[in-house]
């Protein structure tokens, strides 16, 4: 009886062994990503008083299909959150306590924000559908990041601004399936791959100026003085000190004393003097320089237009031919 039992067990083991031998082999491997790198997002020098600024950066990544027998497809998701888990919209660079708004996008139309599937104000990672044949690689594929410093930031102070994205602020996930159709959604395996990068911009000191014509009152010939005034509009970046000098051009002058000329063959001239106060006691000339007011006018930028009034009077006391007399005054803003 013991002999028959042993024979039965031997047959059973052979049968089981036969089943194990003919079972189909399970596919091994699939798509995984081993590296990702983002170049620096550098806006360079930004003029806060003008329109928005743009730049691009390049994401380079390496993924491969380790299955030596089958084609695999995957949706690779590249997430960019916000440093420290912040919830800011738009994103912000910092220069001390000063802020500069910017945003990161997936498209050149600047409509699709590049966000993270995990956290942040925008849950919109870059999703790339990928199909790789057996044992194939992406060979350092690339994607473009589009970045924009937003317009309307005239109150941004001059300085160097940065925002640093660390490993935990970026992530790569791989949602892999066997076959030629990618899942089309994020999820799957966290690749434990990161692509830290730095965003930077330098807001430069800048000023713009606009001026209105100065028209003297019509007077009889030989009248000693005719008053007049006009306004200048100076706009400078926040906390930027500036000085303004005025230089009449018909006859070179640094003291604000100008000469108006008549029209056509008229050789007569009319002199005038520029002032910075309504009492006409403070000459407004052109000795102002960076850090020195001289005989000009000084101010500090606010990011908004600041109005300055120019006062003037004619000084000619001799008769001149009735005519229209004019001169051009150059406005020099030093900052």
**Which structural domains are found in the chain, ordered by start?**
28-203 (2.60.40), 207-334 (2.60.40.1090)
CA of residue 260 relative to chain centroid, distance: 46
CA of residue 327 relative to chain centroid, distance: 41
Which of the four pLDDT bands, split at 50, 70 and 90, describes residue 11?
A: very low
Nearest one of 239, 259, 238 to 329, comparing CA atoms: 259
HSE-CB for 85 with a 13 A CA cutoff: 1
Each residue's pLDDT tens digit, 125-153: 999 999 999 999 998 899 999 999 999 89
The average pLDDT across 36-40 equals 98
- pLDDT given at position 242: 98
Collapsed DSSP state (helix, strand, coil) of residue 237? coil
Report the alpha-carbon angle 138-144-146, nearest 5. Answer: 165
Whether cis (ω within 30° of 0) applies to the bond prior to 90 is yes
Nearest one of 140, 132, 128 to 65, comparing CA atoms: 132
* Alpha carbon distances (Å) from 236 to 109, 241, 295, 335: 30, 8, 20, 9
Collapsed DSSP state (helix, strand, coil) of residue 307? strand
Nearest one of 305, 304, 334 to 244, comparing CA atoms: 334
Q: Tokens 């002199």 map to which residue?
A: 271
- pLDDT given at position 120: 78
Q: Tokens 């044992």 map to which residue?
A: 135
Each residue's pLDDT tens digit, 216-272: 988 776 666 889 999 999 999 999 999 999 999 999 999 999 999 999 999 999 999
Report the alpha-carbon angle 103-106-111, nearest 5. Answer: 65
Nearest one of 333, 127, 326, 165 to 233, comparing CA atoms: 333
Maximum Cα–Cα distance across the chain: 149
pTM, two decimals, is 0.79
Each residue's pLDDT tens digit, 108-120: 999 999 999 998 7
DSSP 114-137: ---SSSSS----EEEEEEE-TT-B
């Amino acid at each position: 009886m013991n002999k028959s039992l042993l024979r039965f067990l031997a047959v059973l083991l052979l049968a089981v062994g036969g089943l194990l031998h003919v079972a189909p082999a399970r596919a091994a491997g699939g798509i995984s990503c081993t590296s990702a790198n983002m170049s620096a997002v550098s806006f360079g020098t930004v003029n806060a008083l003008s329109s928005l600024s743009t730049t691009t950066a390049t994401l380079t990544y390496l993924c491969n299909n380790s299955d030596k027998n089958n084609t695999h497809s995957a949706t690779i998701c590249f997430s960019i959150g916000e440093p420290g888990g912040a919830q800011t919209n738009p994103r912000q660079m910092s220069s001390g306590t000063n802020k500069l708004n910017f945003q990161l996008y997936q498209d050149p139309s600047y409509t699709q924000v590049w966000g993270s599937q995990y956290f942040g104000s925008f849950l919109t990672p870059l999703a790339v559908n990928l199909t790789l044949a057996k044992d194939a690689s992406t060979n350092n594929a690339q994607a473009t990041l589009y970045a924009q410093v937003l317009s309307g930031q005239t109150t941004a102070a001059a300085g160097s601004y940065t925002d640093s994205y660390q490993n935990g602020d970026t992530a790569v996930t791989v949602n892999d399936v066997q076959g030629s159709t990618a899942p089309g959604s994020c999820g799957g395996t966290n690749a434990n791959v990161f692509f830290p990068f730095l965003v930077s911009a330098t807001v430069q000191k800048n000023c713009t100026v606009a001026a209105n014509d100065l028209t003297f009152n019509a007077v009889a010939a030989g009248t000693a003085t005719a008053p007049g005034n006009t306004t200048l509009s100076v706009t400078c970046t926040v906390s930027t000190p500036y000085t303004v000098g005025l230089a009449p051009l018909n006859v070179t002058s640094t003291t604000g004393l100008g000469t108006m000329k008549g029209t056509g063959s008229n050789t007569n001239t009319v002199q005038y003097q520029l002032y910075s106060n309504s009492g006409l006691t403070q000459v407004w000339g052109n000795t102002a320089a960076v850090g020195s007011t001289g005989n000009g006018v000084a101010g500090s930028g606010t990011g908004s237009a600041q109005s300055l009034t120019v006062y003037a009077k004619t000084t000619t006391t001799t008769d001149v031919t009735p005519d229209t007399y004019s001169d051009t005054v150059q406005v020099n803003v030093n900052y």
